[in-house]
Amino acid sequence: YTLIATAAMGIEALVAREVKSLGFEDVQVENGRVLFKADEDGIVKANLWLRTADRVKLRVGEFKATSFDELFEKTKALPWHMFI
């Protein structure tokens, strides 16, 4: 899974350091967020122990949509049954 730890602008490096200290790898720093890979146990670990991140989000899917109908259909097609 790809997790996204959101952060206040300017402290992304601090969040990334904390993510790495928890043992996560493949850490990417972007403006206002830090992306990293985790398994199911890692999702729990990140939510319990990250203190500098505002939120921890799970990337369910990624796609391009050029209309509301396309957005709706592609969102509906995501594997929601795996998470809800």
Mean pLDDT of 12-41: 96
**Which residue segments constitute the domains of the chain, with CATH numbers given?**
2-82 (3.30.2130.30)
Determine the Cα–Cα distance for residues 57 and 37; give it in Å rounded to an integer: 12
Residue 22, pLDDT above cutoff 90 = yes
DSSP helix, strand, coil percent of the chain (3-state; round to 5) = 40, 20, 40
pTM, full prediction: 0.86
